[in-house]
Structure 1
């Protein structure tokens, strides 16, 4: 390797990246915008569901149940309907997500020790909202039933025994279910995927269209040296994005960083280079910048959906789970969550790191071969 030759080409690539002020501004602004949007907007713990209530009982017992539902913050009563039809109309029109109907004999059944039923109508077109409403309603109903039974036995002078099994649950790493803590490590991998793959794929094609790539190919520089020099500026761009993301995660969303930041930055290198290698491979097939962008989107969308960022890998069919393991973001999300949220060390993420290293070796080697076939006469 000729270091003078490499240094000259690296300087040339830095100058080329810095000349595109608009793209550079977008790259630096994107982590801030995306993290703020996703961090505040995405919340899997859905509360304050608009609720319509038809209370045919109109008793103290039904009012207590309504108060319990609203006190949970999962249900916001926006209207008291006059009929079941009115409840259905509000749910069908989308004005309410939940409809609750109390029967006329609700209080009499409770006072008589009989089982009573409360109808809960849920708009299930939004499965997250529906799951949240279903779980909250069932839990509140169970707790209210236990409270009524305890009061009844107490009036009869019967001592109510404690629960036979005491399930003492301890929630580790994210006990308050803060969605942003779970989302931010994934968004960091998503940002690098969006920017690095698309930029790297279009950078080489752009030079081919402008005719500057042919000028580089006539120099004595080897192909692997050329590609290595081209990705170095984008490695720095990737680290800038990660730094901005970490700062926003810690100071805006109060995300804990329990592990070694040095280890995290070191392992990020493998993911950045893996993403850039994939971008080079795309550029070897694309005929122009438009094709490069389209192919990048074709790769980015399934890599995000099958990586565990949105849906857990364990819930996917085996075929799609194996397909998700073909994308580097799958391993990086596990690395980032393990180090940031769990404080894990290399002993917990070495398999993911090894997978990224193998991905780099295979993809970069294949990129060099394909680059020679495509661009070298």
Structure 2
């Protein structure tokens, strides 16, 4: 078995850098397109949701509190499926994105409703998705609360002639994105989407371009081994991807004013893990495609599911099970959890280790398939 030869690898590396330098449109696309796309989409993307996972802390455990929970469920906006016994558990659900809303019913809720007193139901909303937060606030303020208690207030007014006062008040607090700005929600996701699209397309075209020009066949007859050739062609794109990543991170943070609340170093490291996965996808596409047109078509097939199924536009909680499963094989799905978690919630690996592990697995499997396919093409 032949050993890995560093001189041959470096020769391919230098050749690839020279070829990229001659291909100025590709360099401009790699550096300029991410910034242009971020500026365009940053002002244009909007979202809509329902069936948001909801956590409930029912301290009353009364018939009246159960009716409130039923009213929330019937609204179709909220799914109160999780029940907890304290604020610490609520924070874990919201930090881990297992729930978007928390409803806290006080201990004296049933007694106050049945009597003549007033009570307050507290609602905590994950504001990292402003549209979902607004829908949640609207649901808890209208469905099952205001309508029902306005009727009761009218009855009290008729009996005593007093001014109607709602017996139940809703106190809403928004976490992570208190101002509920869509920009704060969209910019981190756009960073992942743009990096994926640009890098996957450039990498996919790399081998296909050499096939069409006939230069790949010239490399086959040289002593260069498939591993050396593949790595030599890949390393320049890793460098380009890193520069592109740092550039659009800077634009997102400095231009749009959306700084990460968590560790910037962790964000960069996990972003490079995602970039590695995207490079593997692009390399696999390049080994399957025979022409640049085929490579472009296959890249588009990657882009569309990434936009629709990853949670970029539509929350995955609201998707049918089949579509949710399809989204589970899209690497961007897991990176969006990572980038939004670090940017908006300031969380670390204690909450993001599952997504990190999935991305690492994707990267290894895809590189193995790409290397195997690449070796087969050369043989």
Give the TM-score taking structure 2 as reference length: 0.68
1:163-312 aligned within 5 A: 163-312=166-315
CA apart distance, 1:296: 1.1
Q: CA deviation at 1:297?
A: 0.8
Residues 1:359 and 2:367 are matched in the alignment: no
User: Among 45, 52, 61, which residue is 1:42 paired with?
Assistant: 45
How large is the RMSD of aligned CA atoms in angstroms? 3.2
1:27/1:159 CA distance change after superposition, 3 Å: same
**Structure 1 position 162, deviation (Å):** 5.1
Select between 215-224 and 266-275 the one with higher mean Cα deviation.
215-224
Question: Which deviates more from structure 2 when the two are superposed, residues 215-224 or residues 345-354?
Answer: 215-224
Deviation at 1:216, TM superposition (A): 2.2
Helix, strand or coil for the counterpart of 2:179? coil
CA contact (8 A) 2:26 2:202 kept: no
**What secondary structure, in the 3-state scheme, does the structure 2 residue paired with 1:256 have?**
coil
Question: How far has the Cα of 1:265 moved from its partner?
Answer: 1.0
Gaps in structure 1 of 5+ consecutive residues: 46-127
1:165 deviates by 3.2
In structure 2, distance between residues paired with 1:308 and 1:334: 9
Alignment of 1:24-43 (within 5 A): 24-43=27-46
* Deviation of the 1:161 alpha carbon: 7.0
Deviation sequence 1:60-94 (CA, Å, 0-9, x none): xxxxxxxxxxxxxxxxxxxxxxxxxxxxxxxxxxx
Q: What TM-score comes out, normalization by structure 1 length?
A: 0.68
Q: CA deviation at 1:260?
A: 0.9
Q: Deviations over 1:345-377 (max 9, x none)?
A: 11211111111111111111111111122232x
Cα deviation for residue 338 of structure 1 reads 0.9
- In structure 2, distance between residues paired with 1:38 and 1:272: 20
The answer to whether 1:350 aligns with 2:353 is: yes
Q: Deviations over 1:233-267 (max 9, x none)?
A: 11222222222222222222221311111111111
1:163 Cα deviation after fit? 4.0
Distance in 2 between residues matched to 1:289 and 1:44, nearest whole Å: 33
With 343-352 and 2-11 compared, the bigger mean Cα shift is at: 2-11
User: Who wins on radius of gyration, i.e. which is larger?
Assistant: 1
Q: Deviations over 1:168-223 (max 9, x none)?
A: 22211111111111111111111122111111111101111112212222333332
Where do 5+ consecutive residues of structure 2 fail to align? Answer: 49-130
Inter-CA distance 18–159: structure 2 relative to 1 (3 Å threshold): farther
Matched pairs, number: 288
Aligned equivalent of 1:333, options 336, 357, 367: 336
The Cα offsets for residues 25-59 of structure 1, whole Å up to 9 and x where unpaired, read as: 122121221111111223449xxxxxxxxxxxxxx
231-240 vs 271-280, greater mean Cα deviation:
231-240
**What corresponds to 1:7 in structure 2?**
10
